[in-house]
Amino acid sequence: MFKSVYRVIPESFRRRALFVAVTIFVRALLNFVGIAMLVPVLMIIVGGDIEANPYMSKAYEWLGLSAEGFVAAVCGMVVGVLVIKNVLNQLLYRAERSYIFSLYKYLSRRLYVSYYQRGLGFIKRSNSAHLARDVNAVSLMFATGVLKPMAQIAGEIMLLFIFLTALVLYSPYLALVAMAIFVPIVLLFYAAVRRRLREVGSRENEVQRAKNRIVAETYRGYVDVKIGGAMPYMLRSFDEMMTEIVHLRNRHASIAMLPQAFIEIGVVVGLVAMAIWGHSSDQDMQLMFGIFVVAAIRLLPVVRNIMSAWSTLRFNNYSVDTLKDIDLEDCSEEILSTTERIDLKQSIELDDISFRFDDAQSDTLSHFSLTINCGERVGIRGASGVGKTTLFNIILGLYRPTSGRIAVDGVELTNENIAMWQNSIGYVSQNVFITDATIAENIAFGVNAADIDYDLVNKVIELADLKPFIDSLAGGVNSRIGELGSRLSGGQRQRIGIARALYKQCNVLLFDEATSSLDQHTENNINNAISRLSAEQKGLTIIVIAHRESSLEYCNRIITLE
């Protein structure tokens, strides 16, 4: 497991981990000092006579204080050391937390970018609720549920080793009793819950994913859920998931309580053994008994923390598997962006293009060639499943051809220049993506609100025939339009999509079944708006996918895919 965790941690964070290891060791020493500071006070309380203890006697003579003054000095020193120890402990612990949460931030961001960079094919094959949970929860669980417990275990084991070493030097018998109590407890706990915790954690991750999917689908498909009467089914599924999550959490909570029970029984057994062995009232024996009680009280939380941290680590071990499988070291840390463009001046050439999905047995497109000249209005039609949208995604640079080439003005599109091409094209789909923001922010999509060019926004609103709708809103372009554009009609969504493409000042505009879900009147209005747009901007190239002939009437050329 530790090898898997090491593989997940990026190279830069591995180097910083050495510093964290030092802080853990120093904190263990400080915690030992905190325990050791109780011994002088215990000697005064149990021993009574200061001069009876050789160490206390030497300190007493060296300071030259009265008995009362000496006791006050010792107690003051103990309190002062404990205050300094706790301040240093907090500072070191803050450094450890900073490392862990910096790693969480890095991994979550890297995972977010990694999923994005895997492309449209991966996104379509995956469940968005699962991807969102991985980005939002898995990295957090790795940081707080794996690395943090590992650091805690390392620190507590160091403290345990230092403490037992000191105990051996002071009294081998006390060390033997302590080890006889705590070692079997740890081994017994490990044997009892080792597999169960991993199974419970992995299963909860699966159930949480399923629950997230149910919730997301309920709200995303609200109308269909409502009209189709599917909510009782969705609610039953949700209840089943919640019931299982509660059951798994109860199992984990029960297992988490075991360390307390194991340790308390062990400590009582140890105290009984000490009581039987030291039945006399000898002061040395009383002191040893007192030291054992202090040791037991301090070791009890140490061992409990180790066992609890280990159970937390096992419970969240699924996060290691998820991150390890993704291999984030191979992913780019940044999203490369450019303002450069490849503006179409001559033609788009698709030369002998073939494309096959990874899990398909045959090509979706096979040896397809097409030339689209600048300023043309080209329609593409064909039966469902013939590859129209796949062809669009190839032109958009979202899919890479299995074979063949696509070139713009003779320049072949590659991974290095595809972003420059995408800066020059606009895309309007059947379901235009709308964010829960203002109309202006949706038109200038991807631009900071403070950087929006409102003159350009108003211009494209005119071109997209959106002005009457905007004027009817109290807030104008600053009106919010609800999540996924819930306050918009289909025609209004399409016009916002057109305005968004024009805001980019694109010279290639692609419509993918953009009017197929609209009524005839609205479709005619949108088609008329596109036709006027084409007439006003002679250099604008328009490529349209449509089933209905009426949506292709303004096209110069129609391509039929078979």
Contacts by 100-103 with C-beta closer than 8 Å and gap 24+? Answer: 100/143, 100/144, 100/147, 100/148, 100/151, 101/143, 102/13, 103/9, 103/10, 103/13, 103/143, 103/147
pLDDT at 324: 75
Determine phi and psi for 106, rounding to 5 degrees.
-65, -50
Burial of 157 (0-12, 13-18, 19+ CB in 10 A): middle
- The owner of tokens 């290095």 is 416
Residues 6+ apart with CB under 8 A from 413: 397, 405, 406, 407, 421
Residue 294 in contact with residue 349, Cβ under 8 Å? Answer: no
The Cβ of residue 433 has, within 10 Å, a number of other Cβ atoms equal to 14
**Residue 280 pLDDT grade (very low, low, confident, very high; cuts 50, 70, 90):** very low
CA distance 102 to 23: 16
CA distance 294 to 171: 14
Residues 6+ apart with CB under 8 A from 243: none
pLDDT at 349: 92
**Residue 7 pLDDT grade (very low, low, confident, very high; cuts 50, 70, 90):** confident
**Which tens digits make up the pLDDT trace of 144-161?**
888 888 887 788 778 777
Q: Which amino acid is at 270?
A: G
Q: Which helix (H) or strand (E) holds 337?
A: none
**Residue 281 pLDDT grade (very low, low, confident, very high; cuts 50, 70, 90):** very low
**Which tens digits make up the pLDDT trace of 189-199?**
666 666 676 67
- The owner of tokens 């180097």 is 15
CA distance 479 to 473: 7
**Which residues are 379's β-sheet partners?**
544, 558
- Name which residue leads in pLDDT, 372 or 490: 372
CA distance 406 to 348: 7
CATH assignment of 347-561, among 1.10.3720.10, 3.50.50.60, 3.40.50.720, 3.40.50.300: 3.40.50.300
Task: Look up residue 403 and give its DSSP letter.
Answer: E
Tell me which CATH code domain 2-325 carries. 1.20.1560.10
Sorted by where each begins, the domain ranges of the chain are 2-325, 347-561
- % of residues, the chain, pLDDT over 70: 72
Q: Do the domains 347-561 and 2-325 match in fold?
A: no
- % of residues, the chain, pLDDT over 90: 1
Listing DSSP states for 447-502 in one string gives S-GGG--HHHHHHHHHHTT-HHHHHTSTTGGG-B--GGGTTS-HHHHHHHHHHHHH
Most confident by average pLDDT, 269-273, 277-281, 401-405:
401-405
pLDDT at 283: 45
pLDDT at 210: 81
| Mean pLDDT value across residues 361-382 | 87
Q: Tell which residue, 47, 70, 76, has the closest CA to residue 291.
A: 47
What is the value of pTM for the model shown? 0.67
